[in-house]
Amino acid sequence: MKIRSLIDALLGRKQQEPSEAPVQQVAVAPKLSQQFELSAQWALQQEDERIAIFRNEVGDVLTVNYFAAVPDIEAPIDDVDALRVFYRGTAEANGLALIETELAQLTALNAVRTLLKVRMHQTRGFAFVGAYTLPFADRSYVIKVESMERGVTGMREAAVMVLMGPPKFDTATGELLGWNQDPYDPNYHAEFMRNQADDQKFDAQFPDHPLSKVRRYLKELESGVRADAAIYGLQPFTYVPHYRGRDASHSL
């Protein structure tokens, strides 16, 4: 699982293109690790002009990502229902399962909080990726946390199944009824989805599970990260629909 490919999936960006908007001249700190101040648990591993990679003592990863391009978010930034449709479609197109999309405030900046589930193909189990996307008129930042299952997997799912009682199966498909659920639309179905065990109400019973940790990291970031003062002066992102016949160069 490659970190950068997950970032592309989160933003719906197939490649980083030069911004079409006038570049805002702001005096931000030269390094990403200086533009966003994190808690002491995150130790800087490496960085360049586009990504700063941090790791904590249990091996989980946090990255600060910078995109010098108009955000590819195909929805108004204040319309949570439209954002959920966009991120759900983006996740499904990239083989990911949507767990959460919410509006958020990150250090008093408007953000979109997403939480995704990723199948690990080289090893058994799942990885969980949580992110705050900070979109501006000519750029965006994504602060992303990632934790993956290691060792014995499936313990959370097995325990939740026991709590739910005897399972019921669809006689035609063999699928477990009521297990896979979209977080917002009960009528939505996809090949890979969030399941009952991913519900936040089970985090307290499994505090060391990767999903529980990612939710905890996101909560800590929302109240604990500090941004460079110059970032607050950036022009906000405004969604412009791509109507038929228009050159939608940043479409999915």
From residue 19, alpha-carbon distances to 111, 119, 126, 137 in Å are 20, 32, 34, 9
pLDDT-wise least confident of 16-30, 55-69, 74-88: 16-30
- Residue 19 clears pLDDT 80, i.e. is over it: no
- Grade residue 17 by pLDDT with cuts at 50, 70 and 90: low
Q: Can you give the pLDDT at residue 252?
A: 29
- At 9 the pLDDT is 44
131 membership: H or E segment, kind and range: strand 126-135
> What is the pLDDT averaged over residues 82-104?
95
User: What gap in Å lies between CA 136 and CA 36, rounded to an integer?
Assistant: 16
Fold of 3-150+206-233: Protein Transport Mog1p; Chain A (3.40.1000)
Convert the pLDDT of each residue in 105-153 to its tens digit.
998 999 999 999 999 877 778 999 999 999 999 999 999 999 999 888 8
Average pLDDT, the chain: 85
Band the pLDDT of 26: cuts 50, 70, 90: low
Compute the distance between CA of residue 207 and CA of residue 201 in angstroms, rounded to an integer.
11
Query: Do 161 and 181 touch, CB atoms closer than 8 A?
Result: no
* Digit-coded pLDDT (tens) for 92-101: 999 999 999 9
